[in-house]
Amino acid sequence: MRRLASRVLSAIVDLAGDALAPGRCAACDEPIDRAAFCAPCAATVERVRATPPATGSAPTLAAFEYGGAMSRALMRAKYKDRPELLRVLARCALEPLELPLQELARGALLVPVPLHTTRLAERGYNQSARIAATLARSVGARHAPRALERRLDTRSQAQLPRRERLRNVAGAFVARVPLRGARVVLVDDVMTTGATLRACAEAVSDAGAVLTGCVVVAFAERGGL
């Protein structure tokens, strides 16, 4: 664990000199130089331990365990009006994922999991689309932020037990642009049960597209979101 954490820390410190460096820790807001996390927070950021489940036959790429400073940073990015942190976190995720994502996204559209329009209006941005934009630019893939639409304003998945999450989200998504024949990589901030990604995959498939993979910044291995 210590070895892993220090490997991640050195990777994150590689943001040094990057114009994206925030100047403050993404998790605790401590002033820092040219890194995503301060040293104590970085020590709690862990690379993903287990491969997340595939969605159908499409593999899932995940960079980090959901927990520690990574979960705090993602929560701040989503719920504390800090969209700029999403770019930083996406860059952190790219450090381990850039090569496999390049493979997965070759000739594909990067499609973020959409928010319902009500939620989007409240938040002002879709965290998954912000992440997808950074990933797409970095691997030279096309970003299709409005390819899917969330038809149902589902209650926050986080508060529901697993079985209800599945029921809650089924049929919630639909394609809103022609996708027939397209290759699609879905992008989300966090994967827990995979219910949301599976529901998006249905919409992709219903639209005649092929899901080639999913990519998330963090994986909550025990559904502990």
Residue 18 or 30: which CB sits closer to Zn ion?
30
Yes or no: say if 151 and 167 are a contact pair by the CB < 8 Å rule.
no
Q: Residue 43 Cβ, how far from Zn ion at the closest point, in Å?
A: 10
Q: Residue 78 Cβ, how far from Zn ion at the closest point, in Å?
A: 18
Q: Residue 15 Cβ, how far from Zn ion at the closest point, in Å?
A: 14
Q: DSSP characters for 149-208?
A: EE-S-PPPGGGS-HHHHHHHHTT-EEE-S--TT-EEEEEEEEESSSHHHHHHHHHHHHTT
Q: Residue 91 Cβ, how far from Zn ion at the closest point, in Å?
A: 17
Residue 36 or 184: which CB sits closer to Zn ion?
36
Q: How far is it, in rounded angstroms, from Cα 7 to Cα 203? A: 38
Residue 73 or 132: which CB sits closer to Zn ion?
73
Helices 68-79 & 127-139 angle (0-180, nearest 10): 110
Residue 27 or 135: which CB sits closer to Zn ion?
27
Q: What residues line the site for Zn ion (CB under 5 A)?
A: 25, 27-28, 30, 38, 41
Residue 41 or 207: which CB sits closer to Zn ion?
41
Q: How far is it, in rounded angstroms, from Cα 115 to Cα 23? A: 29
Q: Which helix (H) or strand (E) holds 210?
A: strand 210-219
Q: Residue 217 Cβ, how far from Zn ion at the closest point, in Å?
A: 17
